[in-house]
Structures are given as C-alpha cells and as structure tokens.
Chain A
Amino acid sequence: MDYVLTKNFNVPEAYRIDVYERTGGYQSLKRLFTMKPVDVIEEVKSSGLRGRGGAGFSAGLKWSFIPKDGKKNVYLCVNADESEPGTFKDRSLLELDPHRLVEGVIIAAYAIGAKTAYIYIRGEFDLPHTRIKAAVAEAYQKGYLGESILQSGFGLNLYVHRGAGAYICGEETGLIESLEGKRGYPRIKPPFPAIQGLFQSPTIVNNVETLSVLPYILMVGANAYRAIGTEKSTGTKLFSVSGPVQRPGVYEVPMGTPLRHFLQEQAGGMLPGKVLKAVIPGGSSMPVLNAQEVEEVNLDYESMASKGSMLGSGGVIVIPEDYCMVKALANLGRFYAHESCGQCSPCREGTGWAAKVLARLEAGKGEAGDIDLLLDIGRKMTGATICVLADSLAMPMASFIKKFRPEFEEHLTLKKCPKG
C-alpha cells in the first residue's frame, strides 16, 4: 500500500523545505496550475475523500457550495485546533510533515478561489506552531506562497493564527468567530460558512488531515486514491491509538481495516496483564464499543455506523478491564461540562448536571434513579442546541450505560467503586 500521509514520518527533518522537495514535495502544483479550479473540485469529489475532522462529509462537495459569482473574497481556514480527547494525528502531521499541509492548502485555495487562508492552530501546540510557521515562511521564500505562485497568476497569502485554549473552537463556526476576535460561540446554521463565513464572506474550513491528502490525489489521480479503502470510505486514514496498548501512537491504514487487526498489528496488542474491555473508536464524543463489537467492526464510516458508533476523528481510546467505566464516563462528563461554551441552556445545564450526577455516582454517593436520570438528561440534550457539543456527551453517556449498566448499578448498591 502507498502511504498517503505518513510516508515522510521517518524521513529525518522532513519539516524542512529542501528535504520535503527531495521527497517529491510541491510537485503536485505543476499539474494543479494546468487544471481549471472546477476540475480540481471534480477530481477531489470523484476521489471520494471525506472530511477527516470528524463529520466525514465529502470534501469536494463542500467546496462546490462556494458561490462562483466572485462577488466576495473567499477564505480558506485550516482547522488545526485538534482537541478531541484521544486524537493526536494532526499534531504529528504539523510536527513531522508541515509542508504537505501547506501544499494541500494551496490546492484547496486554488480550487475554491481563496486568496487568503488562515491556519487556526490550538494555543497549546508549541512545537507544531513553530514548525508550521517556519514551513510557511520557507514556502513564501521559495515562491510557493505570495503573488503569482510559480508564475501561474494565482496568488495566496497564508497566515498562522494561534488559538488560546477552547475545545469549542474546533467546531467550524466557533473557529470562525474566534478568528474574528470573539468568544468561540458556534453560529446558527444556515447560513453555512460556504455562503457566509469568515468576515461575512464565503469560507471553507478544512481539517489538517483532509488538506494533507490533496497533494497525493493530485499526483496519482482520483481513481488511484479510490482504489484504496472501501467503496464509500475511500483512501487511508490516520488513527491515533491510546490506552494500555504496547505501541500507542499514530498509524495510517486503509479504510476498512478490521479494528481487531489494527489493535494487534499496529498497536501491538494490550500491555502485559491488561485485558481489553471497551474501545471508544473515534475520539471521546463517539459511542463506546464493547469487546465483542471490537472483534466485529472495521475502521470505516459504514461499518462503524452498523455498530451504532462513528469513525469520528480516528482517536481510538482503549479501556482495560480493570478501569472503572463509571470513572471513565465521569471524566468525560467533566470534560464536556468544562468545554461547553455556555450559549445554549440544554448544553450548559445538561453537561454540568450530568457531570455532577456522574461524580456523585462514582464516589458511591449516587441516589436511586440516577442512572435513568443521566439517560433522561442525555435525551433532552440531544439535537437541542446550536452545535453538537451536547450530543458529544450524550452519545458516550447513552452507550456507556447501555453496554456497561451493571457497573453503574454496582456503585449504587455497594455505595462505593468496586475497583477502589
């Protein structure tokens, strides 16, 4: 299999432009500027590439929503605000191969007609920030950015914008608000950003991984990309695996790889003495899978959906038998309560309330009816808010309780955590 995203991960100093160029970097631009923007969009559509930030929406289709009338400036925003617990793939791309992202940004900007692009990078990313800023500066120096790139007549300005610590800015309209110098409050949609986004102008927000795939698609063509993966989940995807496994880390595998195979081959199996109990497959917002489901599911959008979960961001969190599921969920409850932006009552109150009930349950101070109360809070939070942060707690909550209810009940009857 061709590695699309990680082929430079073991090349020393691939973050330097001369090294990147030696590996074939920026070669896709030659083909790019012989194509019409609309043909680039068609090629990416036909590749089947789906947004790698979590939602899995067709990247080419999203681009095609940008109005073609040219009346307003068009903006491209790179979502490098990687904050979904369990997800650390974009950090690797930014640290180890930042020029691949810059090349992808040029391709996307050309396709949608953006002359300005911003990379919104999370504030805590120190080394990734240093690397991507240096990469952008190098790209300007070599004429890959700025006026008339490679004498094509197409110009692009790219600027790195640093966030300041807020999970919600990974939501695309929260990101846009933050870039405008405001609190990262997600916007009501419609209008979608493609019509009215940054500075009231047509805007596309794409994830780091999505953009980093583009040079490959331009080089080999949509059909070759489609040939990897499954029919509806094409290509490869980065998965970041954490928890007590032998080799936690970031791995690129074809879509459709069986999860059990991935956990064995890439992650190297469990640490000695640890037994797998559950896996959250796509970042902490996704419904949890039990050990039986882990055996049966593949790493693609459709297979995950058939087990009632989602591929999300590809953050695979492995939970061992000796870790309390109530404690795990209470941790997530606290996370979402902390990160709720506070705009919508069902989310602000719901996540806070759920976190409190989970904390008391875990401490053995739960009250009769607490488990059903949690399910009820979850139902009332779902689909009731501007963005999906509330759902992002409701989904794991419902699945944790459904699949591991005896552990929750034990905390009520024993009045303490059986795992101490």
Chain B
Amino acid sequence: MAEFSEISKKEIEEILNHYPTKQAALLPVLWVAQEQFGWISEGVMDLVAQTLDISPAHVYGVVTFYTMYYRKPVGRCHIQVCRTLPCALMGAESILEHLEKKLGIKEGETTPDGQFTLSTVECLASCGTAPMLRLNEEYRENLTPEKIDQLLAALK
C-alpha cells in the first residue's frame, strides 16, 4: 500500500492544525498526495481516507468531483488550453488545433514518451490576455502559433 513520505506527513500534521474536523483537511491533503505521487490512484485514496479517518467512498466522491485531481498519470508538461467564450473569441480553437498538430496527439491524450499531456479547460480568469493556456503551474498568455512553437521548442 502507498505510504506518505516523512515530508508529506509533516505537511499533513501542519494542515490539520487549521481545521476543527479532519474531513475539512481533505482537499489540502489530496494536494499533498498529488504532489508526492503525481496522481491519485485508488491506493492513494485509501491512504488519504485512513489518514483522515473518513471512508474511502467519500474520498472517491470528492476526487471525482474536482477536475484538478488526476486519476491517471499526466505528462511532465501538462498543457491546458482554455476554451471558454472569451478565449474562443480570440482564437483558442486555432491554438488547440496548432498544438494537436505539433504534438501529434488529440486533446485528452499524452505523448508516448510521457513528455506532454494536452487538455482543454474552462475559464482560467485570464480573459484579457486571451488566448491562453496553463503549463503545469504557470499561465502563458496572448498566444499565437509562433509563441506556441517557441514554447514547445523550449520544452522538448
């Protein structure tokens, strides 16, 4: 069974200080788990449930409700293209098409070498700098096909 590292255990201990119930720490503890394991497998859900004295079913329900907990491994570079109206008005569709062509994968897929995962996401509150994407934990804004080429070249 999966185990939390000493660093994760310390973080969880600290997190629990801030809530009157253990269950309230579920979202932050899932973040710690995803940081350590890269994604949330059923084994990790069991571990989180045990750590917080809540049922695995509850943890499963929560993990599947939120889009940011990964239920399968993702590439080292996770590219998330915003497709909601303000970005769509500024050409998000062609940005996505360009990325699909360049990476040779479709939205929702990962390259065979595990380098890139390409996703679409809903509004990331960056509408004034559309079209945009989120690369791992960073926003890339005011995109053009040329900027995408430069970005991919730097990441390969």
Q: Which residues on B sit within 8 Å (CB–CB) of A122? A: 125
Check B126 for interface membership: any CB of A closer than 8 A: yes
List residues 40-97 of chain B with CB under 8 A from any CB of chain A: 52, 54, 58, 61-62, 65-69, 83-86, 88-90
B84 lies within 8 A of A331 (CB): yes
B65 lies within 8 A of A242 (CB): no
A244 lies within 8 A of B90 (CB): yes
A179 lies within 8 A of B24 (CB): yes
B85 lies within 8 A of A328 (CB): yes
Given A88-B125, A88-B128, A241-B128, residue A284 in contact with residue B27 (CB < 8 A): no
B85 lies within 8 A of A85 (CB): yes
Among A183, A284, A315, A338, contact of B61 (Cβ-Cβ < 8 Å): A183
List residues 49-102 of chain A with CB under 8 A from any CB of chain B: 82-88, 90-91
Check B130 for interface membership: any CB of A closer than 8 A: yes
State in angstroms the CA–CA spacing of A2 and B132 once bound together: 33
A85 lies within 8 A of B66 (CB): no
B28 lies within 8 A of A161 (CB): yes
B107-141 CB contact bits vs A (8 Å, 1 = yes)? 00000000000000111111111100010011100
Q: Which of B66, B124, B125 has the most CB of A within 10 A?
A: B125
B86 nearest CB neighbor, chain A only: A242
A164 lies within 8 A of B128 (CB): no
Segment from B5-13, B15-23, B98-106, B145-153 that makes contact with A: B15-23
Check B25 for interface membership: any CB of A closer than 8 A: yes
Among B68, B122, B129, B130, contact of A339 (Cβ-Cβ < 8 Å): B122
In the complex, number of A-B residue pairs with CB atoms less than 8 Å apart: 138
Given A164-B31, A240-B128, A317-B127, residue A335 in contact with residue B85 (CB < 8 A): yes
State in angstroms the CA–CA spacing of A126 and B137 once bound together: 6
Among B18, B67, B121, B130, contact of A159 (Cβ-Cβ < 8 Å): B18
A317-360 CB contact bits vs B (8 Å, 1 = yes)? 11110010001100110010011010000000000000000000
Q: Which residues on B sit within 8 Å (CB–CB) of A241? A: 128
Q: Which residues on A sit within 8 Å (CB–CB) of B134? A: 124, 126
A164 lies within 8 A of B67 (CB): yes
Q: Which residues on B sit within 8 Å (CB–CB) of A182? A: 23, 26, 58, 62
B123 lies within 8 A of A126 (CB): no
**Chain B residues touching A, range:** 35 or more
Check A282 for interface membership: any CB of B closer than 8 A: no
- Give the Cβ gap from A179 to chain B, nearest Cβ, in Å: 6
Given A123-B66, A164-B69, residue A248 in contact with residue B128 (CB < 8 A): yes
Q: Which residues on A sit within 8 Å (CB–CB) of B123? A: 83-86, 167, 284, 335
B122 lies within 8 A of A338 (CB): yes
Q: Which residues on A sit within 8 Å (CB–CB) of B21? A: 180-181, 199
Interface residues in A, total, Cβ within 8 A: 55
Given A127-B139, A159-B18, A164-B69, residue A181 in contact with residue B23 (CB < 8 A): yes
Q: Which residues on B sit within 8 Å (CB–CB) of A323? A: 89
Q: Which residues on A sit within 8 Å (CB–CB) of B122? A: 83, 85, 167, 335, 338-339
Given A181-B26, A242-B86, A317-B85, residue A199 in contact with residue B20 (CB < 8 A): yes
B66 lies within 8 A of A163 (CB): yes
Q: Which residues on A sit within 8 Å (CB–CB) of B68? A: 123-124, 164-165
- Give the Cβ gap from A174 to chain B, nearest Cβ, in Å: 11
Among B61, B125, B129, contact of A82 (Cβ-Cβ < 8 Å): B125
Q: Which residues on B sit within 8 Å (CB–CB) of A338? A: 122
B130 lies within 8 A of A166 (CB): no
Q: Which residues on B sit within 8 Å (CB–CB) of A157? A: 18
Check A243 for interface membership: any CB of B closer than 8 A: yes
A180 lies within 8 A of B24 (CB): yes
A341 nearest CB neighbor, chain B only: B65
B62 lies within 8 A of A183 (CB): yes
State in angstroms the CA–CA spacing of A320 and B67 once bound together: 31
List residues 143-198 of chain A with CB under 8 A from any CB of chain B: 157, 159, 161-167, 178-184
Given A181-B21, A331-B85, residue A242 in contact with residue B66 (CB < 8 A): no
B67 lies within 8 A of A166 (CB): yes
Sample of 27 A–B contacts (CB below 8 Å): A83-B125, A84-B123, A85-B84, A88-B127, A88-B128, A123-B66, A127-B139, A161-B27, A164-B69, A165-B66, A167-B122, A179-B24, A180-B24, A181-B21, A181-B26, A181-B27, A182-B58, A182-B62, A183-B62, A199-B24, A242-B90, A243-B90, A250-B128, A284-B123, A317-B127, A331-B84, A341-B65
State the A residues within 8 Å of B (CB).
82-88, 90-91, 122-127, 157, 159, 161-167, 178-184, 199, 240-244, 248-250, 284, 315, 317-320, 323, 327-328, 331-332, 335, 338-339, 341
